[in-house]
Structure 1
Amino acid sequence: MGDAALRLLLVDDETGFLDVLRKRLTKRGMSVVGAASGTEAIQTLRKQDFDVVILDLKLGDMDGIEVLEVFKKMVPELPVIMLTGHGSEQAAREGMAHGAFDYLLKPCDLDALLAKVNQAVGREEEQ
């Protein structure tokens, strides 16, 4: 699929987690934009295009499902991977019902997250 950097929108209100994950994904050759709230994420998506979104389910200003629904209205084909902690797998499954590509439990393994991102954008790498 060429050498173009994957454009990823990372949405999480835990800024420490957001910064660490953004740095780790950037080192893996991705172009990562972070958003610390649902509102910021929606504004960011209005301004630029992304190949995939990693969206935390629990945000300070909005529910992750609400953000997902807005994203799906804006860019229906955009794959969204939900991240969930707090044992809220039920909510993550609800996200899948609203069009999320898949979900992972936090904290998640970076390699598992990268594999999921590659699946979401159709870049499955043969190992």
Structure 2
Amino acid sequence: MTRVSVLIVDDEVGFATALSKRLNKRGMDTRLVTSGRDALTVLAEEEVDVTLLDVMMPGMDGIKTLGEIKRLHPDTQVLMFTAHSNSDMVISCLAMGAYDYVMKPGSLDELVGKIREAAQKRQRNLAQDSGPEATTG
């Protein structure tokens, strides 16, 4: 598989920077932003395989950002990422189209595995969208 592109959206800059470096060492290309609005700007300018999205952020929170990402960029896979979770929030995010939900800080190996799975799902979806029936006209 080619390098996975990951957009990290988290207002905790120190944590997100450290995570970005760790994911880069695992062969991923990362980009870091600190707000939902900045995430939408990046996604409008470039394709990203997986968005790692913090739920609790000032301004546009992760749930609102998820809704906008799925509306504007439905092929982008989103992993919700937070230290604060409850079952209603998890169910809501999954119903809105999040690929999965991970706790932070959590296991780096688990996170990398979920990022790779989400990126593979995106590639499968894109391949289906560009299949023979999509190219006939």
Runs of 4+ in 1 over 4 A off after TM superposition: none
Contiguous gaps of at least 5 residues in structure 1: none
Quick check: 2:4–2:116 contact (8 Å CA) kept in 1? no
> Could you list the runs of 5+ residues in structure 2 that have no partner in the other structure?
122-137
Which amino acid is 2:83 matched to? G
TM-score, normalization by structure 2? 0.83
Asked if structure 2 preserves the Cα contact closer than 8 Å seen for 1:84 and 1:92, the reply is no
- Write the distance in 2 (CA, Å) between the matches of 1:47 and 1:90: 33
| Contact 2:53/2:62, CA 8 A, preserved across alignment | yes
Structure with max Cα Rg = 2
- 1:34 alignment counterpart: 32
SS at match of 1:9: strand
For 1:45-100, what per-residue CA distance to the aligned partner results, in whole angstroms no more than 9, with x for missing partners?
11111011110001111121110011011111211000121233431221111000
Q: 2:116 aligns with which of 107, 115, 118?
A: 118
Correspondence for 2:68 among 64, 67, 70: 70
CA 84–93 in structure 1, closer or farther in 2 if over 3 Å, else same: farther
Q: Which amino acid aligns with 1:31?
A: D
Q: CA RMSD in A?
A: 1.3
How far is the alpha carbon of 1:27 from its aligned partner?
A: 0.9
Question: 1:18 touches 1:34 (CA, 8 Å); kept in 2?
Answer: yes
* 1:87 corresponds to: 85
Aligned length: 121
Once the two structures are overlaid, the 10-residue window that deviates more, 82-91 or 24-33, is: 82-91
Shift of 1:37: 0.6
- Closer/same/farther in 2, CA of residues 69 and 87 from structure 1, 3 Å limit: closer
Find the counterpart in structure 2 of residue 107 from structure 1: 105
CA–CA separation in structure 1 for the residues paired with 2:22 and 2:87: 25
CA distance in 2, matches of 1:61, 1:14: 14
Q: Give the helix-richer structure, 1 or 2.
A: 2
**What's the TM-score once normalised by structure 1's chain length?**
0.89
1:122 Cα deviation from its structure 2 partner = 2.0
